[in-house]
Chain A
């Protein structure tokens, strides 16, 4: 019984923070009708703010005096709230207002880019603080997961149960009481704000129907800005509470906090603050019980599962009756930017333009800079394969898959299972290590079919829901790979080089030729696809689903086809990656990998085949060649606490953001 009380209390106090973020997400959603993917990062960044302020006011060792404590708390809560509001409103401007009325895809890609920039900012900021000490866990190379910078103690050690004279072995810290009291108060204030003030009413009017609201004189911009300000303030409060109770800033990438907040907001019926509050608490409780009854490692995966389930259940965020009226809205999205035109596919020169430079790369690079860079070039080519696959899925078919790395990891794991050393199942079942002739088709089949499943799961979702659902699925897969028997956190290593037709591709030159061959096949295939009945059907569905259906296109079928093609290409890339770099690990399914590929595709113009190749080389070239080179020129580390290479999130973020930003300018010029 006592353990039950413990769990409920832990759940409620965790839930309080989730609830605050969920309410924030819901209010912002009300105003812009899109999930704000950068919200989690505003929250994470704000928690650093709290830490910085408190560290400057409170003593680090020993208890603070009452006056210090009161001043510290007041200053830090106010500054964190303002900080959160400022960043949230910045996101409103950069991520939403600039793209309003243009495309539903653009704000999503833009906020994704902003989210990575904020993440980078939080990392750098913390590392610049003198007290930073790196943590031990590393899942992403070069990035510290759990830095141990601490927030000074604020709360006295006090057990509420004891103080009240309740006889129980359960503990109820004063901190937990604080959260449990704060969260509902904040949520209730938001509720009052939305229902009983002018600005609140105008936010709700926008939520119902922005056009009509504008016609009756609601100031749309003002209402949206207010919603983001409220959301930012809530993120600030949540960050403040988190920082002072847990005594460190939010450690993981804000994306995870964001996804959990989305889960609560959607569970509570999106757009409903009180519902978000209740389901935030509920999810906190759920997490506490799952941590205890199952294992803390499985809790995020379960929450992702819940999120995907909820999104399937309410794929448009509305009740079924409201959904029908979607049809009357204009849904055309400007998805592709500078896409390859089908007519280009008729010219063989188009294909050569892509392949000749890649084919020349090797003979040029070896004499120039030596064998050292060969593996790097080979890994570039694998990313070319990935980027081409995503070009088909996103650029041709308009499916914004934010968890594209899922099947990259699966492909790598299939390769590990089939060819890796000491695989008991294989030795029993097959008794030999299968040739690529068997392995690659198996990879295509399995990852392609997983792609179809993904397509089926997301088939009726609107575009922002599809984005977070694919992200949640890939993170869920990462956790499954990590926690299950499949090699664990470390994954598999010592995977032998690829073989095909009995030929061992065991040196870099041969591997280069192998991947180049695959790239050639995919490039030619892409051009042919673009210029076929199938490719046109995919493009039609991307442009306008209803019009495509009415023109005879079976949208469900072509979505499956797109997922099959895109995901089997990701699987192939994963298989090659595992066999050429000789390892497979859960981190291959990480958000960072997906976003890196997405930024490669975006930088060259979404849907542009040559652009995808260019994007890979610019991003990877900067990340793997230019930056290390600059760093080696500078000799000693220019900054004490971090290296230039750790700025790659900024790179991805900027690439994503500016690719849509440029398309926006371009579009407004041509249309006026």
Chain B
């Protein structure tokens, strides 16, 4: 299988004082795949994301994206290179409208400068118009509908907020989309719909997706490959079915007692 590597993590370690949150993790994502990253709470999944997106700098190790190292770059530069993300605890721009949230996500793909903000040349007027249309399309795509476009993000229902965050992340046409527990706090029906959306965006937009999930069921359905973190270390990786049956994984998820019982 001639697969092209999109992102590679080499021995990434992150320590907070005495606590090692991520421990020598090697990780590869190929173009076009949906990769799942699972693990119990506190396993270091979010920390791994934060290191990849520049909010933290890894204590050791490197991230290579599209053949170039991105370790230690500023978050906005990493986003510009093509990695977008959502947050586990939704972080929208609460007082901006849904549309504006998406437009902010498009920031690196627009050219209007500070001066042009005041002088508004034709070029910028056109650019803004096209940006708005594209943003509305994106809102449609994630299932928000155009009616919500002018609503302040913080007044949207919870499920819509999750979807809006995805739309914002998609606005820069990322090569790699990182989703941090996008179904957290949802009921089974909502979870199913969101899972479908993720599947959909890979098929229609061709983005590569790295999906963090706490809920195993969600990942198993759509992931091409699943990796498992526990106490900051990668303890298993492979096809969903295979990983699911791995005793180490069961143990991590259920605790040693339960694993012993099963054995």
Contacts and interface: CB of A to CB of B under 8 A. Distances in A.
B59 to A, nearest CB: 11
Interface string A257-281: 0000000000000000000000000
A94 to B, nearest CB: 25
A168 interface: no
Interface of A: 321, 324-325, 327, 330, 332, 334-336, 339, 341-343, 525, 528-529, 531-537, 539-540, 543-544, 546-555, 561, 670-671
B95 A339 contact: yes
B80 interface: yes
Interface in B42-92: 50, 53-56, 74-76, 79-80, 84-85, 87, 89, 91-92
B117 A549 contact: no
A322 to B, nearest CB: 9
Contacts of A335: 95
Nearest to A555: B76
B104 A334 contact: no
B17 interface: yes
Given A534-B117, A550-B85, 20 more contacts: A321-B17, A324-B56, A330-B89, A336-B95, A528-B117, A532-B116, A533-B112, A533-B128, A535-B117, A537-B107, A544-B94, A546-B75, A549-B55, A549-B74, A549-B79, A550-B75, A550-B79, A551-B105, A551-B172, A554-B74
A540 B106 CA distance: 12
B185 to A, nearest CB: 14
A543 B95 contact: yes
Contacts, number: 121
B55 A551 contact: no
11 contacts: A332-B91, A532-B124, A534-B113, A536-B107, A540-B104, A540-B107, A544-B91, A546-B75, A550-B76, A551-B104, A553-B104
Contact of A554 (B76, B87, B97): B76
B110 A550 contact: no
Give the dominant DSSP class at A's interface: helix
Nearest to A556: B74
Contacts of B172: 551-552
Contact of B87 (A325, A547, A553): A547
A544 B93 contact: yes
Contacts of A342: 96-97, 100
Contacts of B87: 547, 550
Interface string B117-133: 11010001000100000
A549 B112 contact: no
A597 to B, nearest CB: 22
B234 interface: no
B1 interface: no
B215 interface: no
A343 B105 CA distance: 18
A540 B124 contact: no
A341 B108 CA distance: 22
A104 to B, nearest CB: 14
